[in-house]
């Protein structure tokens, strides 16, 4: 998932946020004219799989209306009947999703109706997965940057089709950031610290320092992947929200199991069956993300036989690679103290280094009247407030008292920002396992951060660079703060860090210990359905027919500094490729390509 690993604070939020947070899922009055094909799941009606007629069948059923699913559905609907099922609501009238200043409120909300579903990895790191139309693009920090060309070559994508697919996204929802004074200080400090050259504003992945795109427009309004659905064929596209898919249905009478439909539950708890057309080209396509896709495959009977049998799940296909190869890019931060009020900015500038770390920055959280009532973990500028409560003493009662007092704090108390250091392409690998058969519950996920020494080595280099950036004269001139020593900066950061990992006295003495104890997520987890293990190079699930995966669960590394651009592009790319493979010359999008790509710089 995209940039800034903003952390949620403990389970007591459930009670507290109930009283303070506005409604988190826009469920009415949402752009009916632009999206007439979106409706609640309870409106769906069809006969059972055994008695259905062709009028109730779909050429493609897409499970998950997220970052990849939306562009995929819009593209396939140009020629075929498409049903897309999304477990969450719509983003269009949800102010917590739509506005940059409320970025943290959704992330702080752990209620059942939140647009983000909170989970804690077994490593003790807080994380989030999207539960809303638009997926991660509806809850992330908005940064948009293309993949490293090496990644495109590695996964074997057609470069011409890639260069046709990126601009289709960019021309609809991507913008140039306003470029705040804080981000300008980041840029100058990165260059001063040797992360050069300066590549200006570009979507391309280039070594050095650059300014990237954003899905927030100049008014601070978010434009999500859900808006890409407007480009679909309204007559052939059906999108159901609050539709929680519980399992994929298979016909097991032939030589190989064949997907024939899905069973899903609507917002009222009623079950429905959606059925594929009786055509060998029709498919169920999983686009539920790195957590949801392997989870649902296993709940449907595709996964490690011994694990499925423990939960009494009928085995359709024994594949012990499902859920394996889970990776999350570890992030560590450095607090930037400020003597002047710092305005909010999300990721705009990035330093792409050759030592395998990316440096980004964020600032000014808790600035809105709503957001100031939320705790946002490591990326909230609450140094001197929350840090007065030692980690082991942060009981629900103590935190409740802190929150009560926090409401009376002046907004000027919330100052500062963070420099973020992300390890690129980590070698540490984990796994995902089911804990029960309820698809609404999170599975158990272990990322095994820094279990490989090479990742720890790069983290130390990243922290040293982050310290150098914060100590730069460009930052001290901007923040009006005295130049802090490395130990002072580490101490400030450790005190505010929030995760379930115990802290040690050596955190400010040993950078290796600091990395391990203060690791957080940047939401860029991937894997679980890797190519060659679970799917083939065309992303068809091995060992079964008419089932495909199109999302980041197929990746063995996160593309570029932020994956959202490439995951959205993947949805468009695979939609075009499927049309081309199925229709040949009939799938002629040449004219639309040329119109879309005017004046656009392509990957080489």
246 marked ligand binding residue:
no
Q: How far is CA 511 from CA 83, 426, 490, 494, 516, in A?
A: 50, 18, 9, 12, 9
- Helix 564-583 crosses helix 69-76 at what angle (to 10 degrees)? 30
- Among candidate residues 568, 95, 83, the one with its CA nearest the CA of residue 370: 95
pLDDT tens readout for residues 255-282: 999 999 999 999 999 999 999 999 999 9
Q: What is the longest distance spanned by two Cα atoms in the chain?
A: 74
pLDDT band at 540 (very low <50, low <70, confident <90, very high): very high
What pLDDT sits at residue 93?
82
What pLDDT sits at residue 502?
73
What pLDDT sits at residue 8?
34
Q: What is the mean pLDDT of the chain?
A: 85
- Contact yes or no for 245/509 (Cβ under 8 A): no
- Contact yes or no for 181/59 (Cβ under 8 A): no
What is the residue whose two structure tokens read 């669960």? Answer: 553
- Among candidate residues 88, 85, 60, the one with its CA nearest the CA of residue 272: 85
The pair of structure tokens assigned to 2 is 């995209």
316 vs 15, more confident? 316
Distance CA 481, CA 329 (A): 31
- Among candidate residues 604, 501, 510, the one with its CA nearest the CA of residue 126: 501
162 marked ligand binding residue:
no
pLDDT tens readout for residues 26-35: 444 545 678 9
- Among candidate residues 262, 251, 261, 248, the one with its CA nearest the CA of residue 303: 248
Sign of CA dihedral 189, 190, 196, 198: negative
- E strands in 365-429: 417-423
DSSP state of 496: H
What pLDDT sits at residue 154?
96
- Among candidate residues 600, 523, 531, 527, the one with its CA nearest the CA of residue 564: 523
pLDDT tens readout for residues 207-235: 999 999 999 999 999 999 999 999 999 99
Task: Identify the bridge partners of residue 213 per DSSP, sorted by sequence position.
Answer: 144
Rg of the chain over all Cα atoms, to the nearest angstrom: 23
pLDDT at 595 over 60: no
For the segment 346-356, the average pLDDT, to the nearest whole number, is: 95
Distance CA 563, CA 2 (A): 6
Distance CA 76, CA 238 (A): 12
pLDDT band at 80 (very low <50, low <70, confident <90, very high): very high
- Contact yes or no for 414/386 (Cβ under 8 A): no
Instruction: Tell me which of 77-86, 110-119, 347-356 is least confident.
Output: 110-119
3-state secondary structure at position 411: helix
What is the residue whose two structure tokens read 């010359």? Answer: 585
pLDDT band at 603 (very low <50, low <70, confident <90, very high): very low
CA atoms within 13 A on the CB side of 148: 17
117 marked ligand binding residue:
no
273 marked ligand binding residue:
no
The pair of structure tokens assigned to 124 is 């003790």
572 marked ligand binding residue:
no
What pLDDT sits at residue 13?
34
DSSP secondary structure, 556-583, as one string:
SS--SS-SHHHHHHHHHHHHHHHHHHHH
487 vs 437, more confident? 437
For the segment 402-429, the average pLDDT, to the nearest whole number, is: 71
pLDDT band at 109 (very low <50, low <70, confident <90, very high): confident
Instruction: Tell me which of 35-49, 92-106, 371-385 is least confident.
Output: 371-385
Task: Identify the bridge partners of residue 99 per DSSP, sorted by sequence position.
Answer: 221
339 marked ligand binding residue:
no
What pLDDT sits at residue 494?
77
pLDDT band at 112 (very low <50, low <70, confident <90, very high): confident
Q: What percent of the chain has pLDDT over 70?
A: 80
- Among candidate residues 510, 360, 394, the one with its CA nearest the CA of residue 450: 510
- Among candidate residues 90, 81, 86, 41, the one with its CA nearest the CA of residue 64: 86
What pLDDT sits at residue 283?
98
| Catalytic site positions | 524
Distance CA 83, CA 175 (A): 30
3-state secondary structure at position 230: helix
CA 524 to chain centre: 6
524 marked ligand binding residue:
yes
Distance CA 238, CA 220 (A): 30
Q: With residue 17 as reference, give the H or E element that holds it.
A: helix 13-20
CA end-to-end span of the chain: 25
Distance CA 323, CA 307 (A): 11
What pLDDT sits at residue 169?
98
Give the range with max mean pLDDT: 5-9, 20-24, 594-598. Answer: 594-598
| Helix residue ranges per DSSP H, 339-471 | 396-406, 453-470
564 marked ligand binding residue:
yes
Distance CA 157, CA 400 (A): 51
Pairing of strands 208-211, 198-201: parallel
Q: With residue 62 as reference, give the H or E element that holds it.
A: strand 60-63
């Amino acid at each position: 998932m995209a940039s800034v690993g903003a952390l949620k604070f403990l389970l007591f939020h459930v009670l507290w946020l109930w009283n303070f947070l506005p409604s988190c899922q826009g469920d009415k009055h949402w752009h009916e004219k632009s999206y007439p094909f979106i409706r609640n799941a309870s409106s769906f009606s069809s006969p059972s799989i055994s008695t259905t007629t062709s009028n109730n069948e779909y050429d493609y059923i897409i499970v998950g209306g997220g970052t990849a699913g939306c562009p995929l559905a819009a593209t396939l609907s140009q020629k075929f009947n498409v049903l897309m099922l999304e477990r969450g609501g719509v983003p269009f009238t949800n102010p917590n999703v739509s506005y940059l200043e409320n970025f943290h409120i959704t992330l702080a909300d752990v209620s059942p109706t939140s647009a983000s579903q909170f989970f804690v990895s077994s490593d003790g790191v807080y994380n989030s997965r999207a539960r809303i139309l638009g997926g991660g693009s509806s809850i992330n920090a908005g940064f948009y940057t293309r993949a490293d060309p090496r990644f495109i070559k590695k996964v074997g994508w057609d470069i011409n089709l890639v260069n046709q697919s990126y601009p289709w996204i960019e021309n609809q929802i991507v913008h140039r950031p306003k470029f705040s004074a804080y981000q300008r200080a980041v840029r100058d400090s990165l260059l001063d610290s040797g992360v050069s050259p300066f590549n200006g504003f570009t979507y391309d992945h280039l070594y050095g320092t650059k300014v990237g795109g954003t899905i927030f427009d100049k008014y601070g309004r978010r434009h999500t992947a859900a808006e890409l659905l407007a480009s679909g064929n309204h007559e052939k596209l059906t999108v159901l929200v609050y539709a929680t898919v519980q399992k994929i249905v298979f016909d097991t009478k032939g030589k190989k199991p064949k997907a024939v439909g899905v069973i899903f539950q609507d917002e009222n708890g009623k079950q429905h069956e959606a059925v594929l057309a009786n055509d060998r080209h029709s498919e169920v396509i999983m686009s539920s993300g790195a957590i949801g896709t392997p989870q649902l495959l296993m709940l449907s009977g595709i996964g490690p036989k011994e694990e499925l049998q423990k939960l009494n799940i009928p085995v359709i296909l024994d594949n012990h690679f499902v859920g394996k190869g889970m990776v999350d890019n570890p992030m560590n931060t450095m607090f930037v103290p400020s003597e002047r009020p710092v305005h909010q900015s999300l990721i705009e500038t990035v330093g792409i280094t050759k030592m395998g770390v990316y440096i980004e920055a964020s600032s000014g959280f808790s600035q809105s009247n709503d957001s100031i009532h939320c705790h946002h973990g490591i990326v909230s500028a609450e140094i001197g407030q929350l840090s007065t409560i030692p980690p082991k003493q942060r009981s629900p009662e103590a935190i409740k008292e802190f929150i009560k007092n926090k409401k009376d704090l002046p907004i000027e108390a919330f100052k500062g920002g963070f420099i973020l250091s992300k390890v690129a392409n980590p070698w540490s690998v984990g796994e995902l396992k089911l804990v029960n058969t309820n698809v609404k519950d999170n599975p158990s996920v272990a990322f095994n951060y820094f279990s490989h020494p090479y990742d720890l080595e790069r983290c130390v280099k990243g922290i040293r660079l982050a310290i150098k950036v914060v100590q730069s004269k460009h930052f001290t001139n901007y923040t009006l703060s005295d130049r802090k020593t490395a130990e002072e900066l580490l101490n400030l950061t450790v005190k505010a860090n929030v995760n379930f990992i115990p802290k040690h006295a050596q955190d400010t003495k040993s950078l290796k210990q600091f990395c391990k104890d203060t690791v957080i997520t940047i939401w860029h987890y991937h894997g679980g359905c890797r190519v060659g293990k679970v799917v083939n190079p065309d992303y068809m699930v091995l060992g079964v027919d008419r089932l495909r995966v199109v999302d980041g669960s197929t990746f063995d590394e996160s593309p570029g500094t932020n994956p959202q651009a490439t995951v959205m592009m993947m949805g468009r790319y695979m939609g075009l490729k499927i049309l081309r493979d199925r229709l040949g010359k009939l799938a002629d999008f040449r004219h639309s390509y040329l119109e879309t790509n005017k004046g656009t710089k392509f990957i080489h």
